[in-house]
Chains A and B, each alone.
Chain A
Amino acid sequence: MRSPVLRVRNVAWRASTVPVLEHVSFDVAPGELVAVMGRNGAGKSTLLDIIAGLRSPTEGAVILAERPLDEWAAIARARMLAHLPQSLRADLSMRAEALVLMGRYAHAARWFESDEDRQVAQEAMQRCECLEFRRRTLATLSGGERQRVFLAACLAQQGRVLLLDEPATFLDVDQQLQCFSVLRAEAERGTACLVVTHDVNLALTFCTRVIILAERGVARDLATESALDDPAWLHVFSQRLTVDQGASRPWVRYE
């Protein structure tokens, strides 16, 4: 395994006095696509926010490329790490291409983006299959189309770490598959990706590793291949999940 680009070291976070996360530690290497899972309120988004630098951990530290996160200047950090928040406003009056070009904020020093910035943004839009509505205003796009544009902006940022907070939750099945295919391809290019999702099968199909948060900490940290050998972890989510070993590949079923 390649040396990790991201280390989460003994991180804790409290909302005033209520502990939300305690003793969270794991490393992520380039090329990994990690599903961060857990029940509602398990602290998945909080964890992603801490890694993105949006919240400071109460204890512990996040180390990005051998340097503690709080020592990175905002602009240098943005060249290393991109984050897609869970919900963004839908009524934006800018064009799709302008939003994707925002991903180049940390790269372009000038008032307007360079030809290289435009080239990178265009490629990102192609990969997310949203180039055809580059001239449309975001407010006129459907939820799925908009999400592809936001994802393209994150890819255009060209970070080594990509954090996505439920990128596929409001998408139809085909769009979900498309979204995770793009993430898988991005990971194969050497980006370390962490994606929060509730869809167990989607995680098992596309991700290389599953981290399950429960009881304020990391309950399981499994490579996807070994995740199906011991399905006990499924009960973190619900007692009504079982693994269907009869299918050509193991599959999680609802009862």
Chain B
Amino acid sequence: MLMKPYPVVSWLGGSALLFVAAAVLLPLAGPSALDWGHVWQRQEPDWSILTNLRLSRTLLGLFAGGALALAGSLFQSMLRDALATPYTLGVSTAASLGAVIAIAFDWHMVAGVVGIWAGALTGAGLILLVVMGAATRGGQLSSSSLLLAGIAINSVCAALILLVHGLTGMSQSFAISRWLIGGLDAIERPTLLIYVAAVVGTGLLIVRQGRQWNLLAVGEAWAATRGAQVRRALVQGYLAGSILAAATVALTGPIGFVGLVVPHLLRARLGGDDRLLMPCAFLLGGVLLASCDALGRVLLAPAEIPAGAITAFIGGPHLIWVVRRGGTR
């Protein structure tokens, strides 16, 4: 008898356990030592530092890392491209462009929303339509046309970021550079809740369709003649991945490599079944980013290394390794 798919329970359970452990333990790490007696009695400032600053930052890291890793594995399957990341299809670069413009023009608040977030989401939304329009030909949408349109738009947005960056003054320029590295900051609870709800909702929609992504990973004709609706799947996947990437970039800046490294490492261990790979990538991607951030808080304390820089230190060498092996897929 063919094997029941995989050690689903142990992998999912283990990943979930690590996720929860990270949420509990990582807030304990930080540049200033907390007085546990004060925390226990909910005395300030220790209580606020733990719950408002460190816990919210850890949760943001967990869900942002999860969103990026999930979007990465989605795009790798959907586009049949081992090097696809949440940033491949242009949406995140467009979100960055929106945010950079908001920083350059000092838009602190736009219509009651933090200017950077508003800029990022607007940029992402506009580019979504542009890429989708550019990739559709005669009512047909294919992953290769999506990939080409995405890469083209990506480079245009990257060029515009450089242009805006070059034209701004000293202080904005510094803020832009810092934002473009990507990092985690404590955010207010209502924002965090909205973000977590969006990520979990979108994530569940993606993971539920795991069999569909498996089929697309083999090929579009293959998926279509096994009974999948390819066009609908591509639109769904593109929209869902873009929501994850844009919302995350708006809050954290373009944190690199989590979306590439985590799915790759897991695929080598677990095989390419997205039904198991995707939830594990989400949970462990979150653990990786939150851990990188905690590391950045304590490594050179009291100075902070942004999480985006740490993930790049890990991700860069990994990318070289992947390329030298000729891709793991």
Contacts and interface: CB of A to CB of B under 8 A. Distances in A.
Contacts of B227: 74-75, 77-79, 105-106
Contacts of A157: 226
Contact of B273 (A98, A105, A139): A98
Interface stretch (A84-92, A171-179, A198-206): A84-92
A209 B123 CA distance: 59
Contacts of A65: none
B5 A102 contact: no
Interface string B306-329: 000000000000000000000111
A92 B329 contact: yes
Given A74-B229, A78-B227, A105 B211 contact: yes
A89 B80 contact: yes
B79 to A, nearest CB: 12
A83 interface: yes
A75 B275 CA distance: 20
B2 A52 contact: no
Of the four ranges (under 10, 10 to 19, 20 to 34, 35 or more), the interface on chain B belongs to: 20 to 34
B163 interface: no
B221 A91 contact: no
A105 B215 contact: yes
B218 interface: yes
B217 interface: yes
A100 B80 CA distance: 19
Nearest to B232: A74
Interface string B200-228: 00000000101100110111011011111
Interface stretch (A23-31, A114-122, A182-190, A217-225): A114-122
Contacts of B224: 52-54, 74
Residue picked from B210, B267, B271, most chain A C-beta under 10 Å: B271
B3 A102 contact: no
A99 interface: yes
B125 interface: no
A94 B3 CA distance: 14
Given A75-B227, A98-B214, A91 B329 contact: yes
B300 interface: no
Contacts of A135: 3
B225 A88 contact: no
B226 A103 contact: yes
A94 B214 contact: yes
A166 to B, nearest CB: 14
A254 interface: no
Contact of A82 (B225, B275, B327, B329): B225
B31 interface: no
Contacts of B273: 94, 98
Contacts of B228: 74, 105
A122 B329 CA distance: 25
B1 A119 contact: yes
Interface of B: 1-5, 80, 208, 210-211, 214-215, 217-219, 221-222, 224-229, 267-268, 271-273, 275, 327-329
Given A78-B226, A105-B215, 5 more contacts: A74-B229, A89-B80, A92-B218, A94-B273, A111-B275
20 contacts: A53-B225, A54-B221, A74-B227, A83-B221, A83-B225, A85-B219, A85-B221, A88-B222, A89-B218, A92-B218, A94-B214, A94-B273, A97-B3, A102-B218, A103-B226, A106-B226, A113-B5, A115-B1, A118-B2, A157-B226
3 closest Cβ pairs, A-B complex: A78-B227, A106-B227, A93-B272
